Homo-oligomer: A and B are copies of this chain.
Amino acid sequence: MNQAVTKSSLYEHVARIGKAISSPKRLELIELLAQGEKTVELLAEQAHIDMRLASAHLRALREARLVETRREGKFIHYRLSGPDVARLWLNVREVAEEHLVELRVALERMAAAPDALTSESRESLLAKARSGDVVVIDVRPEAEYAAGHLPHARSMPLAELEKRLAELPAGKEIVAYCRGPFCLMSDEAVRLLRQRGFSAHKISDGVTEWSANGLPVEN
């Protein structure tokens, strides 16, 4: 019996990770943290939840060792405890997309169909971005761009996009990206750009997806 008890304790430890990612809010927090270190306040705002609730969920994530903290004056900055945590989030999301029809349906209803990104098309996008053939814009908040972004991308936060349209070349194809397939900021950006006569489309990749597919990230 002693062996059975300790053996099951192995699974119990792994289940701690499972429990941590069993809540939609915590998954959203993980995705936000995959964009870079953030304070509790900012996380609460971006996830549209109360700061105390955010704190409680972050506590759960910290107890599962998925996140770490750093104090800076009055603020406590949270970050993922490693790149493997972001890849786990990706992995769970991919399994969900593969097996849960409801998720695929919900995604189709909410977001415009993005450019499918195979590894070759990622490479070719990278080449076109390098040569200036297309303009890649990162529509996330500037802090997230600073924490890491696609090569040759320029920061153009959704909130400022309308005011800064003049900075974009009129003739060229514009490619927008944000936090990933669940993030609607790139959709919003493309909608606005097309309205103003630009030729624009989005890709579903965020920095995490891009990097998990072996492509380089700048910062």
- Give the interface of A toward B (CB within 8 A): 3-4, 6-19, 21-25, 27-28, 48, 64-66, 81-82, 84-85, 87-88, 91-96, 98-100, 102-103, 106-107, 109-110, 182, 184
> Distance (Å) between the CB of A12 and the closest chain B CB?
4
Main secondary structure of the interface of A (DSSP, over half): helix
Known: A88-B92, A91-B88, A91-B91. A15 touches B7 (CB 8 A): no
Q: In the bound complex, do residue A18 and residue B23 qualify as a contact, i.e. CB atoms below 8 Å apart?
A: yes
Known: A10-B182, A109-B6. A92 touches B27 (CB 8 A): no
**Distance in angstroms between the alpha carbons of A196 and B99 in the assembled complex:** 48
- Integer count of this chain's copies in the complex: 2
The 3 nearest A-B residue pairs measured at CB: A11-B24, A18-B22, A65-B99
Tell which of B14, B21, B48, B82 touches A93, judged by Cβ atoms closer than 8 Å: B14
Q: In the bound complex, do residue B184 and residue A3 qualify as a contact, i.e. CB atoms below 8 Å apart?
A: yes
Closest partner residue, chain B, to A87 (CB atom): B91
Q: In the bound complex, do residue A24 and residue B15 qualify as a contact, i.e. CB atoms below 8 Å apart?
A: yes
Contacts of A92 in B (CB 8 A): 14, 17-18, 88
